[in-house]
A and B are shown apart, each in its own frame.
Chain A
Amino acid sequence: MELKRYIGRRLVQIFVIFFVILTVLFLLFRLAPGDPVSRMVDPNLTPEDAALLIKEFGLDQPLLMQYLYYLKNFFTGHFGFSFHYGQPVVQIIWNRLPNTILLFTTSIILSALVGIFLGKIASWHKGEKTDICMTLGALVTHTIFLPWLALIMIWVFAYKLGWFPITGMITVEIWLDPQAGLWTKALDVLYHMTLPLATLFLIHFGSYLLIMRSSMLDTLKEDYILTGRAKGLSEKVIRDHHAAPNAALPVVTSVGLSLAFSINGGALTETVFTWPGIGRELVFSVSHNDYPLAQASFLLIAIVVLLSNLVVDILYAYLDPRIRY
């Protein structure tokens, strides 16, 4: 019951934040130098089509009415037409969303799990070679400049060694082949995903490892660990069942706090590996002055960030009952 109320409160907060973002974006589009109409209507359209679009977005109306039109269009999913692709924007970003979610969530979950696991081991061997190597490795991978790491990965593993494809998400031949089963297709995506996933993983797991390590060291000093030892529990039980679950809580918090950072990294990775996700679409549309697409991608990314924040909060409330009260 308490959990439900907590989630409800967070939902309201998220909705308010999103509403503010929506409004700020609207104002920015109107305040920026240049003609606001040219940002929603492709300059290459015929005058009749342009007039139709202007009417649909209420661009000939006063500002307040425009805002209402904007809200209505947002909630009914009308974002206009992409200048570059000539298709409805919603269709494009709807196609890209699963790709981004696939890469993003897999990388976060993988790096958090590995970070927690390795951090546990590092803290257990505190001061020994294992610990020093892990801590240093985490520090170094964590601070590598992401796009550069991505370029190096492509250079080494795709170009020099030829193990993985250089770009893209699928091999077109396999997907056009009617004989190819679901399994082959999934393997194909996995094959393309390996390098971007490895890049994001390398960047992220370090900070989780460091947080887990120091939180584990704190937890190990708690009285209940001493009690466990006094009861004669084996060290492995104390480490894995008593200390680690509690020590992992700060990692969950840090996943939530670093989500915005991770999304930045995700967009960079998608761009370098030409992974067809929303982040790449945003970068692409900004470089090509495709305003409707940029606006919609940005809003969708904001929604993704806010909802992932909510997921992390729920997870945290589930893991730590104290937070609910």
Chain B
Amino acid sequence: MTGEIQKVTTVTTDIDLSERFHLISRFLEGWSIYKKSFLGKIGLILLAVFALMALCSSIPPLIDPMYQPMSGVDPEIFKATGPSIRHWLGTDFMGRDIFSQLLTGARIAFMVGVSAAFMSVFLGTAIGMIAGYTGKFMDTFLMRLADMIMVMPSLLVLLMLAALFGQLSIWFIVFFIALFRWPGVSRVIRAQTLSLKHRPFIEAARVAGASNLRIIFRHIMPNVLPLSFLYMTFQVTSAIIIEAALAFLGFGDPGTVSWGMMLQWVWKTGHMFKAPYWLLPPGICISLITLSFYMLGRAMDEVLDPRLRKEGTTD
């Protein structure tokens, strides 16, 4: 009796191990394709630079408290001045250091982008799998809901919420972006689930007595996760843009410094014609970080879709 059980467990670990190796080899194979993509490489390099910025964001305030991005004011300057050795990118209207604000902005952008994207992809994948697998009423209901959310301009909805509930905190914004961004993911995942549902290995699992939950998590999820992962990069882009736009309009979290908020300060304090050193960096950063995530996504698209690979020699 015990011998039998032991045999079974060794068999399962074997499967686990081989699966793990399989994952690694799949990853390596994907990476070798990814490496060939010119845009993918540029995207990764840019992202590495931004990640470095985010990691370094806590260093300037340690050197001198006047480099605090939000509260630090240079005691000798109380207005916007151009770049100098003391302030590499100049100071804003209150004499705060623009360079350290820019570094903190990178941290906020990553935080907002990655967490909102993770949540929306999580929701989208779960809802897409449930809708595709269960079908019938549940499917119709969830997909109609997705349609409805998809036609709503998320930025303007967030504006309305800001009007009604006052200043929104950064986590509320992240949460809402996720709530508005899942439908796109769930549509794709649902389509994928529908195509998987009648494959022989799913049928086999069902015949073997696997429960619906087990089929969804054990057999369908591994097959849709690469797609979810791909969608995550695109979700990061849109989350960063929505947060930046909201901050630009003056409805960002007042406790954080984001690039959108820096642009709002330039614009609202009337410095946009006078201070290009202040107007240019945040805009360039937002544009470049979205561009790099976008390029990352396109390169990953090539890895996942062999059809693109053959014809996409130039992408």
Contacts and interface: CB of A to CB of B under 8 A. Distances in A.
B19 interface: no
A259 interface: yes
A126 interface: yes
A25 B152 CA distance: 13
Interface stretch (B2-10, B23-31, B155-163): B155-163
A148 B263 contact: yes
Interface residues of A, number: 57
Contacts of A271: 249
Interface stretch (A28-36, A79-87, A176-184): A28-36
Contact of A143 (B150, B155, B291): B291
A302 interface: yes
B151 A267 contact: no
B272 A155 contact: yes
Contact of A264 (B39, B144, B156, B311): B156
Secondary structure call for the B interface: helix
A155 to B, nearest CB: 6
Interface string B278-290: 0100110011001
A217 interface: yes
Interface string B142-158: 00100110111111100
Interface in A128-177: 131-132, 135, 139-140, 142-149, 151-152, 154-155, 159
Contacts of B39: 139
Given A17-B147, A267-B156, A289 B283 contact: no
B313 interface: yes
A127 B308 CA distance: 14
Contacts of A306: 151
B122 interface: no
A21 B68 CA distance: 43
Contacts of B148: 17, 20-21
B137 interface: no
B62 to A, nearest CB: 30
Interface stretch (B100-108, B112-120, B225-233, B237-245): B237-245
Given A132-B314, A152-B283, A257-B150, A267 B160 contact: no
A260 interface: yes
Contact of A145 (B159, B283, B294, B315): B283
A111 interface: no
**Size bracket of the B interface:** 35 or more
B153 A260 contact: yes
Given A267-B155, A282-B156, A298-B156, A147 B263 contact: yes
A147 B248 contact: yes
Secondary structure call for the A interface: helix
A222 B168 CA distance: 51
A243 interface: no
Contacts of A309: 151
A271 B246 CA distance: 12
A154 B272 CA distance: 9
Interface in A219-268: 257, 259-261, 263-264, 267-268
Contacts of B294: 139, 142-143
Contacts of A282: 156, 159-160
A88 B94 CA distance: 40
B163 A294 contact: yes
B251 interface: yes
Given A264-B156, A268-B248, A286-B160, A259 B291 contact: no
Contact of B314 (A33, A131, A149): A131
A170 to B, nearest CB: 23
Interface in B263-287: 263, 266-267, 272-273, 276, 279, 282-283, 286-287
A139 B100 CA distance: 29
A155 B151 contact: no
Contacts of A13: 144, 147
Contacts of B276: 155
B244 to A, nearest CB: 6
B153 A263 contact: yes
B40 to A, nearest CB: 12
Interface in A302-321: 302, 305-306, 309
Residue from A32, A261, A264 with most neighbouring chain B CB atoms (10 Å): A264
6 contacts: A13-B144, A28-B164, A143-B290, A264-B156, A267-B155, A268-B248
Given A148-B283, A151-B263, A286-B251, 5 more contacts: A13-B144, A25-B160, A151-B272, A268-B245, A289-B163
